[in-house]
Amino acid sequence: MFSRQTVAPNIRWPRILSGLLLLLLAAAPSLQAVQWQTLFTAQDVRDDLSTPAGREAALAFCRRMHITKVYLEVFRDGYQADATTLGEARNFFRRAGIHVAGCVATTDLGKPSTGWKIVACYTNLANREHLASIFRYAASLFNEIIIDDFFFTDCQCSECSAAKGSMSWTQYRDRLMVQVSRQDVLAPARAVNPKVRIILKYPQWYDQYQNRGYVVDKETALYDRIWVGTETRDPASPHWGNTQQYRGFFLYRWLSQIGGAKTGGGWFDPYGTNAAFYMDQAWTTVLAGAQQVFLFHYGSLISPRYQAQARALEQAEPKLEALSKLVGQWEGIAAYKPISSSPGSEPYIFDQVGMLGIPLVPTATFPAKAPAAMFAEYAMHDPQFVPELKRFLENGGTAFLTEGLAHRLNLDPRLAAYGSLELPKGQLIETKKAGPGQIVIFSDALPDLAKVDSEDRVEQLTPDLRAALNQLREAVGNFTPISPDAPPRVAVFPMGGRVAVMNYTELPVACHVEMGGMASTMRTQVFAANGATLASDRETLRLPPHSLIVVE
């Protein structure tokens, strides 16, 4: 294990702390408890809500799970739910004191995309007319409608190719999906029901947004609210993309920075999970600040296959609600991901960095006033990035650069004063003076330590990897609380004087936190779940697998 490190006494804490204040993405922690929500898909409406007995069983589930809001889906997979059944179910839940909204999943509309077959070609006029008719129908029944995360296209059919012309596919889909939103979703719905509010749910695969027509700045401006997909599932599963659990936090905070008050809840499901992985999603969603948690969906959660997940959540709800009252004032290293930016050779790299116990504050705008920031190949989407980076360093900032980005910046004459930005052969990390500032370049081998392969194996820490990770954490620890000795896949979430630590591994962990600048190392436990404890020395955190602790 790493030896504990103390923070150097000459760190410029007033400047650092003032910079961190500029990165806070929320005010004081909210005292509002979590609002639990679920969805009845169009098929659930047909199969489970068409009889009095079915509705009573659904209500009993909602009572047991403390669900206070339900969404009744109008359309999914080519099936449109019956208006009479929808109306009866809507009125039934309302009489029971449960809030009700509608939902649309834009799947199997008609002509499919040439890519992902379940989604539509939106160049096709018949599909667009069908889409408009669905939203007119939904708005006639509900004053609020959420759109599930299939509202995109990757079609390259002859219609799309002709309409695209000389534009890139990214440019065409950007323009197309904004136009479809205005003309075929919002306009027809509001024509029928001027009071209707429409929510767009963004999927968790954010590195592909720009390739499939999700334009988070323009679409967030158009829609009344946005929802965030925080589903991560089993990180060992290639079927689900080997998704790091930290992604739920990173994406929710990134979209919150873009959406502000429009940002609603987090949404996850039981697929590709056991009870522990399912609950990882819940803990992470609440840690990210979601006050509304959307459980997809009723039909799955009552099935024998996923009842263990539902029971685990039911048992943990009081703890999750208590945690929700502690979160806020997130701190860490600014992590710059411009809107619609491509990851280059580093897909979802910030998810991996967060799983190294390095706290991140996601931002879609260049963090000019931050004392330290992390930059990956995403930054190359910003045409002003190099001059911005140069000014950042001239103002005394510390820039953490991924190996991939450093390779792309190397030999840029605008940065010539800082010398080569390539990592020397065989070296995993290098720190360079950059005028008043400094540059810390780290190898891709460090984020790779967070990866889990299909056989549940992780990369072992060699002496060189251990030393490099320790060096990176020490540099990060100059600016934010960290755990200097936690293994990879233990995440740290500093929050305004408190620090949450989540063990996402399958093994018990003992580690410490350093809150930089504090004379005392004594901690006070303010929250714990799944057996996590603060040891009697009031320094050591003991974390069983998939457990969480908050100390201050």
Question: Is the dihedral angle over the CA atoms 170, 173, 175, 181 positive or is it negative?
Answer: negative
Please report the DSSP string for 114-167 in residue order: SSSTTSB-SS-HHHHHHHHHHHHHHHHH-SEEEE-TT-------HHHHHHHTTS
Cα–Cα distance measured from residue 223 to residue 321, given in angstroms and rounded to the nearest whole number: 28
Q: How many Cβ atoms sit within 10 Å of the Cβ of residue 204?
A: 26
Q: Give the predicted TM-score (pTM) of the model.
A: 0.93
Phi, psi of 278, deg, nearest 5: -60, -45
Could you list the pLDDT tens digit for every one of the 552 residues in the chain? 222 222 233 333 333 443 443 343 333 444 457 999 999 999 999 999 999 999 999 999 999 999 999 999 999 999 999 999 999 999 999 999 999 999 999 999 999 999 999 999 999 999 999 999 999 999 999 999 999 999 999 999 999 999 999 999 999 999 999 999 999 999 999 999 999 999 999 999 999 999 999 999 999 999 999 999 999 999 999 999 999 999 999 999 999 999 999 999 999 999 999 999 999 999 999 999 999 999 999 999 999 999 999 999 999 999 999 999 999 999 999 999 999 999 999 999 999 999 999 999 999 999 999 999 999 999 999 999 999 999 999 999 999 999 999 999 999 999 999 999 999 999 999 999 999 999 999 999 999 999 999 999 999 999 999 999 999 999 999 999 999 999 999 999 999 999 999 999 999 999 999 976 453 578 999 999 999 999 999 999 999 999 999 999
Classify residue 109 by burial, with Cβ atoms within 10 Å: 0-12, 13-18, 19+.
buried
CB-hemisphere CA count at 13 Å for 407?
12
Q: How far is CA 183 from the centre of its chain?
A: 29
Q: Which helix (H) or strand (E) holds 281?
A: helix 275-287
Can you name the residues that pair with 36 across neighbouring β-strands? 67, 293
Cα–Cα distance measured from residue 172 to residue 442, given in angstroms and rounded to the nearest whole number: 36
Can you name the residues that pair with 401 across neighbouring β-strands? 375, 441
Cα–Cα distance measured from residue 54 to residue 44, given in angstroms and rounded to the nearest whole number: 10
Q: Which domains does the chain have, with CATH numbers?
A: 13-26+330-480 (3.40.50), 35-324 (3.20.20.80)
